[in-house]
Amino acid sequence: MSLPTVVLVHGAFADASSFARVVPELLADGLKVVVPAVPNRSLGGDAEYIGSVLAAIEGPVLLVGHSYGCAVITVAGVAENVEGLVYLAGFVPEEGESLGELQGRFPDPDLAGSLVATPFPDGVDLSVDIERFPAVFAHDVDPAVTAVLAVSQRPLSAVAFGENASAAAWRTRPAWGIVATSDHAINPEVQYFGYRRAGVDMLEVDSSHLVMFSRPAAVADLIRTAVKAVSAARAS
């Protein structure tokens, strides 16, 4: 069977290195892997950027997102070569819905009181308070690692939370997902709600928000499951 290229899309307050413990497992399986740097400027703009990455890939793609990156792949995943979606501890919006609306249905997570706003010429960037980053984002990850992640965050423009999703790829693509049940950045109830609405094949993992660092084997195994499923579907 022809295997899809796995495209890993990071979320807010992180960068491509957040998949550092998962990528070696996928490469060892002989999979092609692409881990683009998401601009984190706006939901629509970020989805367009990921769309340009997808357009440059020959053959089928399995699109994997984490956190805010789940919303990005929900929009970008309507690209013709995307055969499946994998959601990791993230937002799964409906078409026409913003992340603020989705989160607003449920109690705020600890992240809400830990954000730092920094003006820039065209808007406001949001990042996580460095001192609170470990507890909010990655309480079960090596403190030496979280100390580095805290000071190397990729901020998210505040406008991304209020922008409506222009598409919902899960309506036409099979999807798998991990709910991080000890998540303090995105309320697990937000994850359950979005996954159930989208018909996601769901796995619960006792993990912080940064599930790729704390439970890389579980993440890699779910991606393997999705790779096999979309490959078999194409071959049938």
> Does residue 1 have a pLDDT over 80?
no
Residue count (the chain): 236
Query: With pLDDT > 70 as the criterion, what percentage of the chain qualifies?
Result: 100
> Does residue 62 have a pLDDT over 80?
yes
> Does residue 55 have a pLDDT over 70?
yes
Q: Is 111 exposed, middle or buried (0-12, 13-18, 19+ CB in 10 A)?
A: buried
Q: From 81, 82, 75, 79, select the one nearest 90 (Cα to Cα).
A: 75
Assign 149 a pLDDT band (cuts: 50, 70, 90): very high
Mean pLDDT of 167-175: 98
Residue type, 76: A
> Does residue 180 have a pLDDT over 80?
yes
In whole angstroms, give the CA distance from residue 207 to residue 229: 25
Mean of all residue pLDDT scores within the chain: 97
Where do we find the tokens 């009181």? Answer: 113
Query: With pLDDT > 90 as the criterion, what percentage of the chain qualifies?
Result: 97
DSSP string of 95-124, one letter each residue: TT--HHHHHHTSPPPGGGGGEEEEEETTEE
- pLDDT for the residue numbered 135: 97
- pLDDT for the residue numbered 235: 87
Q: From 75, 48, 51, select the one nearest 169 (Cα to Cα).
A: 75
Mean pLDDT of 76-80: 98
Q: Is 176 exposed, middle or buried (0-12, 13-18, 19+ CB in 10 A)?
A: buried
> Does residue 97 have a pLDDT over 90?
yes
